[in-house]
C-alpha cells in the first residue's frame, strides 16, 4: 500500500546556528525571533519544540518548511543545505494548526492533491490515496467537503494529506490545539503510534507540555529565541537545568537556600534554618553559596507540625480538591509552597487554616542557581 | 506582529521563475498603460514649440484666468458635491445599519442604481424636467426662463450619482464598528442621541473623510454630466476635451489634464495612505454579536422620510428618461411612439455591438489581472510590491480625461502606434477598471487563511499551481463580482474612451453624447433605455454564472 518503505525515505535534520531577525511591525526596530540555535534530529525521531508563545518555536518550524528564510545559519535535510530550495521542493510535509484543508476540494481530492501535483500516474494516485483513507478510517467520507466533517476528522485528513506524499520529514505546527481536551488526548496517541509505525522524522511544535511529554522522543525547550534545554521528557522533568525549564515543564516549588557543602554526591543545604541533605542535587547544582531548591509538588509531604521530618512549618491557606489529587497551598518563606496528595479518596485531608509541617522527598529535590 | 526581513524577498523571487515572470508582466503592463501615458502628459506640457524644455505653457496655464476659473469651478463643484453626497450617504448608511427602517432591501437597491447606470441619464432627466420644455419648470410651474444649465444642476445630478459611493463606504465602516462599543456606551447610561454624538459619529469620522475624498475625486473627473449640462460653467475634465478636439490645442489640453490630476491624486493619496492608519474598524475575526437596532419612531420615521425622498428623486429621474424614450416630442407632444427606438437601432446598432464586444474582451482580462495583482500584493514578497499596489490603485485617481489624453500622446507614434485600435480601447477599459477587482480580491484574500496556500506549497505545488488550483477557486466569488462590475463600467465608460474611438470603433456612450450635441434628447433617452436593458441582461447572465460557478466554493467554506 505504498507506506511500507517509509522509513527508508526518512532523513535526519540539522539546524546549525540558526538565527532569524524580523523587522518589527512599525519598522523602527528589530526582533530576534530565533537566536543562534543548533539542533540535530535523528532519522525517525520525533522532536518537539516546546515553549511559551513568542519563543521562536513556530518561526523555527517555518524556516525548516521554507516559509521563512534564516537571517543566519543553515538547515540541513538529509545532509543537504536547503537554503536554495523552495518549500515545494524540500520533500517535506506539514500539518498546520488550522489544518489548512482546501475548502473547495473534497476529502479525497484534498489528500490526493500532493500526488496530483507530482503528476504521478492516475493508478498510483488512486492506490495511495485509498490506502491512506483506509489507514486513517476516512474512506466512508471521502466525497465530503472539509466543512462537512468534524474537527477530529479534519485533523486526520490534514495528517493523511501530509503523509500520503511520503515526505522525508514531517512538520507539525500545534496540530491538536483546535481540538477539545478528550479528542486531543486520543489524537496525540494516534499520531504518535502512526509516526512510530512509519518511522518518519518529525519536528513538532506545541506550547502544551503534557502533549510534548506524551509524544516526544526528545523535547527542546525554547525561550526568547534560544534553546534552554534538550532532552527526553523524563530527563527534562527530572533534571531541569534552569528555573525556567523547571517551572515551565510541570509545576515546581522554588525555595531559596544556602548550600553549605558536599558529602560525596549529596549536597548539604540550609533552608531557613533547617539543615537538609539532598542526595541527587543534579549536575547543574552550584557547589556552594546561594541556590534554589526545586521540589515538585508531588514530592512535598504534609506532616504533623511537631514531626522531626518537618523541614518547614506553615499554615494551609487553601486546599483544592481535584479528584485525583488534593492540592495544598502553604505560604512560607515569602512564597507559596504547593503540595499534592495523590489519591485523596478516603484519606484524611488537612483543613484550611491548619498549621502543618512540610517535608520533602529528598531524592526528588534538585538544586539550581538563580 | 512582525514582517519579512531584508534582502530575502529578492532571493525568494529569483528562486521562483513563474512568480518572477508574473511580477515582470504586471509591471510591464502598469508601466506601459498607466505610468508611460502620465509621463507623456508631463513631458508634453514642459516641452516648448521648438521641442526643447520649456515651462512657458505651464506658466501660461497657471496664470491664465480662463484656466484658473475652470480649475476653481472644478474644485468648488467637487467640494460641494462631496459634502452633499456624503451627507446623503451617511444618513442612508446610518438608517440602514442602525435602525429598524422598513423596506431596507428597496433602499439598498435604490442606492445601487446610479452605480450601474449608463451615463447621461440624470442630466437628461434634468433637461426633461427643468429644461426649456421642462415638465416641472414649464408645465407645472409655468416658468419659461429657468436656465437648467450650470453648476446648480451639476450639483444635483452629481449628488445623486455619487451618494451611493459615500453610502457604500460608510456602510462598510458602520457595519464593522464593534457593536459592543455602542452597547458599552448604552450600558454606561448614555442616551441614543448621546451615543451617536460621542461614539458612533467620532468612530465613523475616518469613513466620512474617506467618503468625502472619494466623491470629490468622482466629481472632479466626471465627464458625462458637465459635458451636457454645465452650460457656461466650465470644468477641467470637459474643457480639456474641448480644448483638444475643438481647438486642436494639445498642449492646452495636457495642461488642463495636469491641473485635473493634481487634486484628484492628492485626494487619493490622502484617502489611501493617511486615512488608512486612522481607521477605528476592529477586524478581529471574532464573531461579533448582533446589533440592537434603534426602533424609536422619533428616529426611524424622519430617517424613513429622508430616504424615501431620495428614492423618489432617483425613481423620478430614471422614470422620466424611460417615459421620454417613448414620447414623440418631450414637452410638446407626449403621444406614444417607438420611432426613437427605430432610429437608435439603425444608428446605434454598430456602436452597441462594439461596446458590448470590447467590454466582453476587457472583462475577463480585468478580472484576471485584478486577481493576480491582489494575490501578488497580499501574498507574495518581492521588491517593488508596495509600488505595484500603488500604481495599480492609481488608476482610480487618474481621471478618464487624463487617461485619454495620455493615451493619445503615448500611443500615437511608434513604437506603440495603437490609437484607433480596439486593442487600445480594451486596454483602457482593463487598466481603468482593475482597482475594483483588486479591492475585491484583496479583501477576500485577507480573509483566507494563508496556511491554505502554504499547505499547497509544502505538498509540492509551485506558486503558479497554487494560484491556479487553490487561490483562484477560493477567489471565485470576488472574481465574478469583479467581472460584473467591470463589464458595467466598460459599457458605461465615456471620459477616457472618447479620445480613443475611431470611425471603425465607435462606442454606444459616445453615440449618446453625439445625440446630446445635436439636441436629439428623445433619441438619447431611447438609446439609454436600450443600454439599461442590455446592462440588466448582462448582469443577469453574469449573476447566473456566478451562482453556477462560484456558489459551490461558498457552500463548502461553510
What pLDDT is stored for residue B11 in this prediction?
Answer: 64
Q: How far is CA B389 from CA B35, B136, B438, B440, in A?
A: 13, 48, 9, 14
Element (H, E) at A40: strand A30-41
Task: Please state the separation of Cα B51 from the chain's center in Å.
Answer: 37
Residue in this structure with the C-alpha cell 481540538, named with its chain if needed: A179
Cβ atoms of A131 and A1 closer than 8 Å: yes
Q: Is residue B187 part of a domain?
A: yes
Overall average pLDDT of the B447-462 stretch: 89
Overall average pLDDT of the B366-395 stretch: 88
* Residue A54 three-state SS: coil
Share of chain A above pLDDT 70, in %: 96
Query: Which residues partner with A20 through β-bridges?
Result: A34
DSSP structural state of residue B385: H
Q: How confident is the model at residue A370 (pLDDT cuts 50, 70, 90)?
A: low
CB nearest A67 (choices: B11, B449, B454): B454
pLDDT of residue A331 exceeding 90: yes
Cα distance from N-terminal residue to C-terminal residue, chain A? 55
Q: pLDDT (tens digit, 9 = 90+) per residue, A272-329? A: 888 899 999 988 888 888 999 999 999 999 999 888 888 889 999 999 999 999 999 9
pLDDT of residue A365 exceeding 70: yes
Who contacts B174 (Cβ-Cβ below 8 Å, separation ≥6)?
A: B93, B94, B97, B98, B200, B204, B207
What pLDDT is stored for residue A27 in this prediction?
Answer: 63
- Which residue range is the domain that position B81 belongs to? 70-283+300-324
Q: Which residue of B has its CA nearest to A62?
A: B454
Q: Quote the CA–CA distance of A334 and A344 in Å, as a whole number.
A: 28
Task: Please state the separation of Cα B550 from the chain's center in Å.
Answer: 24
Q: Which domains does chain A have, with CATH numbers?
A: 6-238 (3.40.50.300), 251-368 (2.40.50.140)
Overall average pLDDT of the A83-95 stretch: 89
Choose the most confident range, by mean pLDDT, from B16-25, B234-243, B546-555: B234-243
Q: pLDDT (tens digit, 9 = 90+) per residue, B207-259? A: 899 899 999 999 999 999 999 998 889 999 999 999 888 888 888 888 889 99
- Using CA of residue B264, residue B266, residue B272, residue B276, what is the dihedral sign? negative
Q: Quote the CA–CA distance of B2 and A4 in Å, as a whole number.
A: 42
What pLDDT is stored for residue A144 in this prediction?
Answer: 93
Q: pLDDT (tens digit, 9 = 90+) per residue, B58-109? A: 787 778 888 889 999 999 999 999 999 999 999 999 999 888 889 999 999 9
- Mean pLDDT score of chain A, rounded to an integer? 90
Interface of B to A at Cβ within 8 Å reads 1-6, 8, 11-12, 15-16, 449, 451-452, 454-462, 465, 469-470, 473-474, 552-553, 556-558
CA dihedral A154, A155, A161, A167 (to 10 degrees): 170
Higher pLDDT, B140 or B38: B38
What pLDDT is stored for residue A85 in this prediction?
Answer: 87
Overall average pLDDT of the B524-539 stretch: 90
Choose the most confident range, by mean pLDDT, from A110-114, B267-271, B373-377: A110-114
Overall average pLDDT of the B456-465 stretch: 89
Q: Is residue B453 part of a domain?
A: no
List of chain A residues whose C-beta atoms are within 8 Å of the C-beta of residue B465: 117
Transcribe B94-125 into DSSP letters.
Answer: HHHHHB--S-HHHHHHHHHHHHHSPTTHHHHH
What pLDDT is stored for residue A5 in this prediction?
Answer: 52
pLDDT of residue A17 exceeding 90: yes
pLDDT of residue B145 exceeding 70: yes
Q: How far is CA B425 from CA B197, B242, B361, B405, in A?
A: 48, 20, 10, 13
What pLDDT is stored for residue A214 in this prediction?
Answer: 93
What pLDDT is stored for residue B6 in this prediction?
Answer: 43
Interface contact A94-B16, CB threshold 8 A = no
Overall average pLDDT of the A216-236 stretch: 95
Cβ atoms of B33 and B431 closer than 8 Å: yes
pLDDT of residue A187 exceeding 60: yes
What pLDDT is stored for residue B52 in this prediction?
Answer: 75
Q: Which residue in B451, B459, B468 has the most chain A C-beta atoms within 10 A of its own C-beta, making it the best mutation to test that interface? A: B459
Q: How far is CA A122 from CA A24, A105, A112, A118, A308, in A?
A: 47, 17, 10, 11, 77
Higher pLDDT, A127 or B55: A127
Overall average pLDDT of the A193-216 stretch: 92
CB nearest B2 (choices: A31, A86, A96): A31
Who contacts B35 (Cβ-Cβ below 8 Å, separation ≥6)?
A: B391
What ipTM was assigned to the predicted interfaces of this complex?
A: 0.83
Write down how long chain A is.
370
Interface contact A66-B473, CB threshold 8 A = no
Give the gap in angstroms from C-alpha A365 to the nearest C-alpha of chain B: 40
Q: pLDDT (tens digit, 9 = 90+) per residue, B34-60? A: 999 999 988 888 887 777 777 777 787
Interface contact B3-A67, CB threshold 8 A = no
pLDDT of residue B515 exceeding 60: yes
Q: How confident is the model at residue A25 (pLDDT cuts 50, 70, 90)?
A: low
Q: Is residue B313 part of a domain?
A: yes
CB nearest A165 (choices: B457, B460, B469): B460
Interface contact A88-B461, CB threshold 8 A = yes
pLDDT of residue A107 exceeding 80: yes
pLDDT of residue B263 exceeding 60: yes
What pLDDT is stored for residue B1 in this prediction?
Answer: 35
Tell me the three cell numbers of residue B519: 439636441
Transcribe B253-312 into DSSP letters.
Answer: HHHHHHHHHHHHHHHHHIIIIITGGG------SSPPPPPPPB--HHHHHHHHHHHHHHHH
Give the gap in angstroms from C-alpha B279 to the nearest C-alpha of chain A: 16
Closest by CA position to A350, among listed A329, A333, A323, A324: A329
Q: pLDDT (tens digit, 9 = 90+) per residue, A152-166? A: 899 999 999 999 998
Transcribe B473-519 into DSSP letters.
Answer: HHTHHHHHHHHHHHHHHHHH--TTGGGT--STT--HHHHHHHHHHTT
Closest by CA position to B325, among listed B522, B122, B534, B128: B522
What pLDDT is stored for residue B548 in this prediction?
Answer: 72
Output b/e per residue, B138-156; b: 16+ Cβ within 10 A: beeeeeeeeebbebbbbbb
Q: Which residue in A68, A69, A83, A171 has the most chain B C-beta atoms within 10 A of its own C-beta, making it the best mutation to test that interface? A: A69
Task: Please state the separation of Cα A18 from the chain's center in Å.
Answer: 20
| Number of structural domains in chain B | 1
CA dihedral A65, A68, A73, A76 (to 10 degrees): 10
Q: How confident is the model at residue B287 (pLDDT cuts 50, 70, 90)?
A: very low
pLDDT of residue A231 exceeding 50: yes
* Residue B330 three-state SS: coil
Q: How confident is the model at residue B330 (pLDDT cuts 50, 70, 90)?
A: confident
Q: What are phi and psi of A350, to 5 degrees?
A: -80, 150
Give the gap in angstroms from C-alpha B477 to the nearest C-alpha of chain A: 12
Output b/e per residue, A264-290; b: 16+ Cβ within 10 A: eeebbbebeeeebebebbbebbeeeee
Interface of A to B at Cβ within 8 Å reads 20-25, 31, 33, 65-67, 69, 71, 84, 86-90, 92-94, 96-98, 100-104, 113-114, 117-118, 145-148, 161-162, 165, 171
Q: pLDDT (tens digit, 9 = 90+) per residue, B382-440? A: 888 889 988 988 888 899 999 999 998 898 887 777 777 889 999 999 999 888 888 88
Q: Is residue B107 part of a domain?
A: yes
pLDDT of residue A37 exceeding 90: yes
Residue in this structure with the C-alpha cell 474617506, named with its chain if needed: B210
Closest by CA position to A44, among listed A215, A235, A232, A197: A197
Q: Is residue B221 part of a domain?
A: yes
Q: Is residue B375 part of a domain?
A: no
* Residue A188 three-state SS: helix
Rounded (to 5) percent helix, strand, coil in chain A:
30, 35, 35
Who contacts B322 (Cβ-Cβ below 8 Å, separation ≥6)?
A: B525, B529
What pLDDT is stored for residue B553 in this prediction?
Answer: 43
In this structure, what CATH number is given to the domain that contains residue B209?
Answer: 1.10.3720.10
Long-range contacts of A29-32 (CB under 8 A, 24+ apart): A31/B2, A32/A225
Interface contact B457-A103, CB threshold 8 A = no
Q: Is residue B341 part of a domain?
A: no
What pLDDT is stored for residue B550 in this prediction?
Answer: 52
* Residue A50 three-state SS: strand
Overall average pLDDT of the A191-219 stretch: 93
Q: Is residue B369 part of a domain?
A: no
Cβ atoms of A297 and A251 closer than 8 Å: yes
Cβ atoms of A47 and A221 closer than 8 Å: no
pLDDT of residue B12 exceeding 80: no
DSSP structural state of residue A174: S
Tell me the three cell numbers of residue B316: 423620478
Amino acid at each position: 500500500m505504498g507506506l511500507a518503505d517509509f522509513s527508508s525515505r526518512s532523513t535526519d535534520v540539522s539546524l546549525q546556528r540558526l538565527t532569524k531577525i524580523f523587522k518589527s511591525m512599525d519598522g523602527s526596530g528589530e526582533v530576534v525571533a530565533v537566536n543562534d540555535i543548533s539542533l540535530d534530529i535523528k532519522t525517525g525521531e520525533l522532536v518537539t519544540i516546546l515553549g511559551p508563545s513568542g519563543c521562536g518555536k513556530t518561526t523555527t518550524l517555518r524556516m525548516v518548511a521554507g516559509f521563512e528564510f534564516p537571517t543566519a545559519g543553515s538547515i540541513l535535510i538529509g545532509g543537504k543545505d536547503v537554503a536554495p530550495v523552495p518549500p515545494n521542493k524540500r520533500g517535506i510535509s506539514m500539518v498546520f494548526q488550522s489544518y489548512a484543508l482546501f475548502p473547495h476540494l473534497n476529502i479525497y481530492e484534498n489528500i490526493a492533491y500532493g500526488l496530483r501535483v507530482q503528476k504521478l500516474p492516475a493508478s498510483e494516485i488512486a492506490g495511495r490515496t485509498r490506502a491512506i483513507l483506509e489507514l486513517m478510517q476516512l474512506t466512508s467520507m471521502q466525497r465530503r467537503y472539509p466543512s462537512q466533517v468534524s474537527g477530529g476528522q479534519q485533523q486526520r485528513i490534514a495528517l493523511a494529506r501530509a503523509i500520503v506524499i511520503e515526505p522525508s520529514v514531517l512538520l507539525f505546527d500545534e496540530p491538536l490545539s483546535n481540538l477539545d481536551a478528550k479528542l486531543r488526548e486520543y489524537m496525540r496517541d494516534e499520531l504518535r503510534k502512526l509516526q512510530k509505525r512509519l518511522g518518519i522524522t518529525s519536528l513538532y511544535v506545541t506550547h502544551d507540555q503534557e502533549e510534548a511529554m506524551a509524544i516526544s522522543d526528545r523535547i527542546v525547550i525554547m525561550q526568547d529565541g534560544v534553546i534552554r534545554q534538550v532532552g527526553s521528557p523524563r530527563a527534562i522533568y527530572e533534571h531541569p537545568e534552569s528555573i525556567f525549564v523547571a517551572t515551565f515543564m510541570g509545576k515546581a516549588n522554588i525555595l531559596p537556600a544556602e548550600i553549605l557543602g558536599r558529602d560525596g554526591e549529596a549536597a548539604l543545604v540550609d533552608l531557613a534554618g533547617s539543615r537538609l541533605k539532598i542526595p541527587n542535587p543534579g549536575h547543574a547544582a552550584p557547589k556552594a553559596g546561594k541556590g534554589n531548591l526545586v521540589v515538585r509538588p508531588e514530592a512535598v509531604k504534609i506532616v504533623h507540625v511537631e514531626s522531626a521530618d518537618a523541614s518547614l512549618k506553615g499554615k494551609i491557606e487553601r486546599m483544592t480538591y481535584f479528584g485525583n489529587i488534593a492540592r495544598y497551598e502553604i505560604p512560607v518563606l515569602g512564597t507559596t509552597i504547593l503540595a499534592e496528595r495523590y489519591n485523596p479518596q478516603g484519606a484524611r485531608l488537612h483543613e484550611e487554616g491548619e498549621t502543618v509541617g512540610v517535608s520533602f522527598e529528598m531524592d526528588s529535590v534538585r538544586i539550581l542557581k538563580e | 506582529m512582525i514582517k519579512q526581513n531584508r534582502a530575502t524577498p529578492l532571493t525568494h523571487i529569483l528562486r521562483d521563475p513563474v512568480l518572477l515572470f508574473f511580477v515582470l508582466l504586471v509591471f510591464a503592463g502598469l508601466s506601459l498603460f498607466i505610468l508611460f501615458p502620465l509621463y507623456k502628459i508631463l513631458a508634453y506640457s514642459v516641452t516648448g514649440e521648438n521641442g526643447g524644455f520649456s515651462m512657458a505653457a505651464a506658466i501660461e496655464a497657471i496664470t491664465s484666468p480662463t484656466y484658473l476659473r475652470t480649475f476653481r469651478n472644478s474644485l468648488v463643484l467637487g467640494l460641494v458635491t462631496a459634502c452633499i453626497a456624503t451627507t446623503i450617504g451617511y444618513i442612508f448608511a446610518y438608517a440602514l445599519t442602525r435602525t429598524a427602517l422598513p423596506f431596507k432591501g428597496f433602499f439598498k437597491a435604490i442606492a445601487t442604481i446610479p452605480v450601474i447606470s449608463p451615463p447621461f441619464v440624470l442630466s437628461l432627466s434634468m433637461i426633461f424636467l427643468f429644461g426649456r420644455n421642462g415638465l416641472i419648470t414649464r408645465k407645472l410651474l409655468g416658468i419659461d426662463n429657468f436656465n437648467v444649465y450650470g453648476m446648480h444642476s451639476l450639483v444635483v445630478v452629481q449628488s445623486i450619482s455619487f451618494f451611493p459611493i459615500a453610502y457604500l463606504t460608510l456602510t462598510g465602516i458602520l457595519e464593522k464598528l464593534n457593536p459592543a462599543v455602542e452597547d458599552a456606551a448604552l450600558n454606561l447610561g448614555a442616551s441614543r442621541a448621546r451615543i451617536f454624538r460621542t461614539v458612533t459619529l467620532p468612530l465613523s469620522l475616518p469613513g466620512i473623510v474617506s467618503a468625502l475624498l472619494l466623491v470629490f475625486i468622482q466629481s472632479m473627473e466626471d465627464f458625462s454630466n458637465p459635458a451636457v449640462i454645465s452650460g457656461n460653467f466650465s470644468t477641467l475634465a470637459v474643457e480639456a476635451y474641448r480644448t483638444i478636439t475643438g481647438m486642436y490645442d494639445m498642449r492646452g489640453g495636457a495642461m488642463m489634464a495636469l491641473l485635473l490630476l493634481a487634486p484628484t491624486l492628492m485626494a487619493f493619496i490622502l484617502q489611501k495612505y493617511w486615512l488608512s492608519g486612522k481607521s477605528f474598524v476592529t477586524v478581529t475575526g471574532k464573531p461579533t454579536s448582533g446589533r440592537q437596532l434603534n426602533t424609536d419612531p422619533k428616529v426611524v420615521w424622519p430617517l424613513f422620510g429622508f430616504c424615501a425622498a431620495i428614492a423618489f428623486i432617483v425613481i423620478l429621474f430614471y422614470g422620466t428618461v424611460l417615459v421620454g424614450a417613448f414620447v414623440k416630442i418631450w414637452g410638446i407632444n407626449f403621444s406614444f411612439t417607438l420611432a426613437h427606438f427605430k432610429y437608435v437601432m439603425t444608428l446605434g446598432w454598430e456602436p452597441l455591438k462594439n461596446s458590448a464586444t470590447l467590454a466582453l474582451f476587457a472583462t475577463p482580462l480585468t478580472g484576471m489581472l485584478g486577481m493576480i495583482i491582489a494575490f501578488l500584493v497580499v501574498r507574495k514578497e518581492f521588491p517593488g510590491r508596495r509600488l505595484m499596489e500603488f500604481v495599480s490603485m492609481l488608476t482610480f485617481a487618474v481621471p478618464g480625461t487624463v487617461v485619454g489624453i495620455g493615451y493619445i500622446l503615448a500611443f500615437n507614434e511608434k513604437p506603440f502606434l495603437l490609437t484607433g485600435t480596439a486593442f487600445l480601447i480594451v486596454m483602457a477599459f482593463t487598466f481603468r477598471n482593475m482597482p475594483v477587482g483588486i479591492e475585491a480580491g484583496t479583501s477576500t484574500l485577507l480573509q483566507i487563511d494563508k496556511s491554505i496556500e502554504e499547505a499547497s506549497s509544502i505538498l509540492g505545488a509551485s506558486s503558479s499551481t497554487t494560484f491556479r488550483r487553490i487561490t483562484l477557486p477560493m477567489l471565485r466569488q470576488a472574481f465574478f463580482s469583479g467581472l460584473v462590475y467591470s463589464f458595467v463600467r466598460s459599457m458605461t465608460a465615456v471620459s477616457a474612451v472618447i479620445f480613443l474611438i475611431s470611425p471603425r470603433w465607435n462606442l454606444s456612450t459616445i453615440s449618446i453624447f453625439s445625440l446630446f450635441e445635436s439636441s436629439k434628447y428623445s433619441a438619447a433617452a431611447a438609446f439609454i433605455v436600450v443600454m439599461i436593458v442590455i446592462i440588466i441582461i448582462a448582469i443577469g447572465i453574469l449573476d447566473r454564472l456566478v451562482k453556477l460557478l462560484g456558489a459551490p466554493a461558498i457552500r463548502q467554506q461553510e
